[in-house]
Amino acid sequence: MSTVASAFAEIYRPTEEHEAFRAAAREVCEAKVAPWAAETDELAAFPKASLEALVAADLHAPHVPEAYGGVGADALATVIVIEEVARVCASSSLIPAVNKLASLCWITEADESLRQRYLPPLAAGDALASYCLSEPDAGSDAAAMRTRAVRDGDDWVLDGVKRWISNAGVSDYYTVFAVTDPDKQATRKGSGISAFVVEKGDDGVSFGAPEKKLGIKGSPTCEVYLDHVWIPGDRLIGEVDKGFPIAMRTLDHTRVTIAAQAVGIAQGALDYALGYVKQRQQFGKAIAEFQGIQFMLAEMGMKLEAARQLTYTAAARSERNDADLTWFGSAAKCFASDVAMQVTTDAVQLLGGYGYTKDYPLERMMRDAKITQIYEGTNQVQRIVMARQLLAGLPH
């Protein structure tokens, strides 16, 4: 095989090791996560049994490097894990996804002492982590945040409110972005913001009531309140006033995980619909034999596989930290989430009235799919990001 052909295969084809990782993850998810999915949704309860199963299989934070007690899974392997968990339970897939979202900047930006303190408990499953960027008046315009961090000698005091925080109240550690220089923030967008690790047990940290959501009900989404929270200076992530670029670089990588979640949800819906149309009899034959049904299935499968390949391509770029990752991360997240919404809606349609009831999992999957078009940057924002990248000459 030529060098060019070999490189092509590396980008587009998971290795045998990746497929073994998928097989192990699928076995765990089908046996120990799927049975709790409906109850998790119905009760809007954090899936503790699923967490225990994922921790036992080292699938709760597979991205953590081996040096800190983790599996050291690459970006594609992590994507495959999230995809497989989401295939049976979208709420549970937010365990590995949010752990990566919150802790990636510890790995890439923090000093060694911070990594040694927080990554081993995460890798061991003794702690979970959340990411605190959005605020009541700073959603898509995250740079307009109002949370403040004021110096207290070598330390910091944080005050503010963070909103839409996944797994808030359950997580032990929080990556929090706060304004450290209001003058810089006022004069240059995205400046004067720093990143910190806040612990659940810090004095002044509290949480709002869980949001009553359409989907992903097993992942609590709450406000995080910071009321004069004192934290030591060694919990700063990266450099002072350089936090906003850290936040954006993190999202370049983790939007790929949301794409993986969307692919997994869509695959679960298609799998169920395929089984149903083969069994459901109308007019004397299985409805799978009708051309109109076959056209729908073909469209669902075609778009799902396109979304999967774009997601895997973006994961390869994430692993290499390619210059065009921003475009591919946004493209994968945007396309895969749009596909997930279409596939789950069509899957409900294929089951007819049954698809609309909670006796079947497809209405849950359709509700879960919607959030993938919204969080980590709405798909409208993703299209802005992609357009700007194209105008700047990326991707090549």
- Rounded Cα–Cα distance for residues 157 and 230 (Å): 4
Find residue 230's DSSP bridge partners: 157
Q: Of 344, 329, 323, nearest to 379 (Cα)?
A: 329
Find residue 199's DSSP bridge partners: 173
- Rounded Cα–Cα distance for residues 123 and 117 (Å): 11
**Catalytic residue at 52?**
no
Helices (H), the chain: 3-12, 16-28, 37-43, 48-56, 75-88, 90-109, 112-124, 182-187, 243-279, 291-320, 325-351, 362-371, 379-391
What residue has token string 């809606």? Answer: 345
Sort 347 into a burial class: Cβ within 10 Å, 0-12 / 13-18 / 19+.
buried
- Rounded Cα–Cα distance for residues 231 and 345 (Å): 46
- How many other C-beta atoms can be found within 10 angstroms of the C-beta atom of residue 374? 15
Catalytic residue among 83, 84, 223, 376: 376
Catalytic residues: 376
